[in-house]
Amino acid sequence: MAPPLKVCIVGSGNWGSVIGKIIGENAAENKMFDSTVYMWVFEELVNGRKLTEIINTEHENVKYLPGCKLPANVVAVPGLLDAARDADILVFVMPHQFIRETCDELKGQIKLSSIGVSLIKGIEVGSYGLKLISDVIRETLGIEVSVLMGANLANEVAAEKFCESTIGAANIEHGKILKELLQTRNFRLRVVEEADAVEICGALKNVVAMGAGFCDGLGYGDNTKAAVIRLGLMEMIAFVRLHCEGLVPDSIFLESCGVADLIATCYGGRNRKIAEVFAKTGKSIKQLEEEMLNGQKLQGPQTAIEINHTLKLQNLVNKFPLFTAVYQICYECKPVSEFVKCLQDHPEHK
């Protein structure tokens, strides 16, 4: 029999901790996996104690997932290399702004036979244009990387309320292993091959959710929010098709990573919540993130910058008015009260 696969979770925020709970419980039961699961924790002090020490004694991430017990076989490790060096499966789950520095530290230090999976919703952009987070991991570490994205508000998944998610795996064998590792009765997974499309959907919906939050803050109702979701979805589909090789079937957008994640985030996500208060108070996004999220990080505003940069490089800004309005409101002092204009003048109605 093959030796059990060792798993390392690279990240331990709100979603990372929930994934720690799921993987820890599955690994304790399933002989395919080593029952000890390492979770890399970006060390910090919480009430004068190290977060790793709290997690390993109280089995709870009191800062990022308070009130949810983690299985005792999930071991918090402060050293990135100590956590990841021997892993057969590396689960990347952290705010996307930290992935490059994390991969740089791991470069040349992990098993080249290991399987990667990214749960990170975001993209990277440079003078070359758009780069997927899975590509940053793949190119830096030299391993194959699948993705998992879906309608998965972390606190609801932690409470074991039913939901679905999508694994995007070009390597179907990897997809099967990851499904075995991550699926539970209340976290049902489907595996599809179009990993790039799955990943880009996960990044883009956070920008649309900012628009939904603006409308909530401005006092618009559910009809307007439905329009934001529909027009946002149209822009997501167009953007995905522009940036994926080959045909992307409509069915991808009907998976949990598509329309379902968009709805969940536009109603219950952190991006929506902060955008609502931004519209009501005029405080900056940065200030609200600090005041309201206790160390958790928003992905939507940063992704809006990256999308806008990509669209400018391609001279396509005007084709994506909703993405563009979110960017301009967050970063170019466009009044939030003008957000609805991007819906009224949308090319979908011409």
Ligand X SMILES: O=P(O)(O)OC[C@H](O)CO
Ligand Y SMILES: NC(=O)c1ccc[n+]([C@@H]2O[C@H](COP(=O)([O-])OP(=O)(O)OC[C@H]3O[C@@H](n4cnc5c(N)ncnc54)[C@H](O)[C@@H]3O)[C@@H](O)[C@H]2O)c1
Q: Active-site residue numbers? A: 205
Q: Which is nearer to ligand X, 42 or 267 (CB)?
A: 267
Short-list 185, 112, 119, 175, CA closest to 143 = 112
- Cα(81)–Cα(75) distance, rounded to whole angstroms? 14
Binding residues for ligand Y restricted to 251-270, rule: CB under 6 A:
none
Stretch that binds ligand Y, among 93-101, 179-187, 220-228, 245-253 (CB under 6 A): 93-101
- Cα(217)–Cα(230) distance, rounded to whole angstroms? 19
Tell me the Ramachandran region of residue 129: left when phi exceeds 0, alpha when psi lies from -120 to 50, beta otherwise.
Answer: left
Is residue 175 a contact residue for ligand Y (CB under 6 A)? no
Q: Which is nearer to ligand X, 12 or 271 (CB)?
A: 271
Q: Which of 66, 142, 249, 295 binds ligand Y (CB under 6 A)?
A: 295
Residue 32 in 3-state DSSP?
A: coil
Q: Which is nearer to ligand X, 87 or 264 (CB)?
A: 264
Stretch that binds ligand Y, among 13-21, 170-178, 303-311, 339-347 (CB under 6 A): 13-21
Q: Is 15 marked within a binding site?
A: yes
With CB under 5 to 8 Å by kind, the binding choice for 54 among ligand Y, ligand X, none is none
- Cα(254)–Cα(258) distance, rounded to whole angstroms? 6
Stretch that binds ligand Y, among 23-31, 174-182, 228-236, 292-300 (CB under 6 A): 292-300
CB of 6 vs ligand X, minimal distance in Å: 27
With CB under 5 to 8 Å by kind, the binding choice for 94 among ligand X, ligand Y, none is ligand Y
Give the long-range contacts of residues 57-65, CB within 8 A, separation 24 or more: 61/12, 61/17, 61/20, 63/294, 63/295, 64/12, 64/13, 64/14, 64/16, 64/17, 64/295, 64/296, 65/14, 65/17, 65/18, 65/154, 65/155, 65/158
Is residue 64 a contact residue for ligand Y (CB under 6 A)? yes
Would you list which residues are annotated within the binding site for NAD(+)?
Answer: 11-16, 42, 98, 154, 270, 297, 299
